[in-house]
């Protein structure tokens, strides 16, 4: 049993020595990493600190100007919005007025065409029809007088040549 205890103590001693070596390696590695991180942090601090200081001083020095710029942008935005609303109102008004004028012009043209048509019908019925009737009566009187006085001879219609009559002749004969 004694050998077993000696083997156990030797194995434990070797394990402790291996652990000590691993811990020593971890310590050295951590020390190197810590040194690199500290150097990097110092480098960043050296480079960033002037930039941050310049930005801070720029903001502090120009704060009034930036406030003025922001106020001007706000006022300009409000003015542009108001102008666009006025423009929208004006354009809407112009479109509405134009639409009304187009409707009025359409009604005027329609009324004018209706009156022209009525006038044409009226002229046709009151002037042209009586003139045609009077013309037909005058032709009838003329034919009657020629027939009575014997001045006009009727041409004989041959079998080959039929008498050709127009629509106005037909109307005159009807009257």
What is the arithmetic mean of pLDDT over 109-116? 93
What is the arithmetic mean of pLDDT over 23-41? 94
DSSP letters for 12-73: HHHHHHHHHHHHHHHHHHHHHHHHHHHHHHHHHHHHHHHHHHHHHHHHHHTHHHHHHHHHHH
Asked whether residue 87 carries a pLDDT value surpassing 90, the answer given is yes
Asked whether residue 48 carries a pLDDT value surpassing 70, the answer given is yes
pTM of this prediction exceeds 0.85: no
What is the arithmetic mean of pLDDT over 38-48? 89
What is the arithmetic mean of pLDDT over 35-59? 88
Half-sphere exposure of 51 (CA within 13 A, CB side): 6
Q: Which residue has the tokens 């003329």?
A: 142
174: pLDDT confidence band, cut at 50, 70 and 90? low
Stated as kind and residue range, the H or E segment containing 108 is helix 63-123
């Amino acid at each position: 049993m004694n050998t077993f205890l000696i083997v156990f103590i030797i194995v434990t001693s070797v394990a402790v020595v291996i652990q000590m070596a691993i811990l020593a390696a971890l310590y050295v590695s951590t020390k190197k990493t810590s040194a690199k991180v500290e150097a990097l942090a110092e480098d960043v601090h050296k480079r960033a600190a002037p930039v941050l200081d310049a930005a801070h001083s720029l903001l502090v020095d120009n704060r009034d100007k930036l406030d003025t710029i922001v106020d001007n942008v706000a006022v300009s935005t409000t003015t542009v919005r108001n102008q666009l609303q006025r423009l929208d109102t004006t354009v809407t008004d112009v479109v509405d007025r134009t639409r009304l004028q187009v409707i009025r012009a359409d009604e005027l043209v329609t009324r004018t065409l209706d009156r022209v048509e009525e006038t044409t019908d009226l002229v046709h019925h009151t002037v042209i029809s009586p003139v045609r009737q009077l013309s037909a009566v005058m032709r009838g009187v003329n034919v009657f007088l020629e027939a009575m006085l014997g001045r006009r001879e009727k041409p004989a219609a041959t079998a080959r040549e039929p008498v050709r009559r127009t629509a106005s002749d037909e109307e005159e004969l009807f009257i």
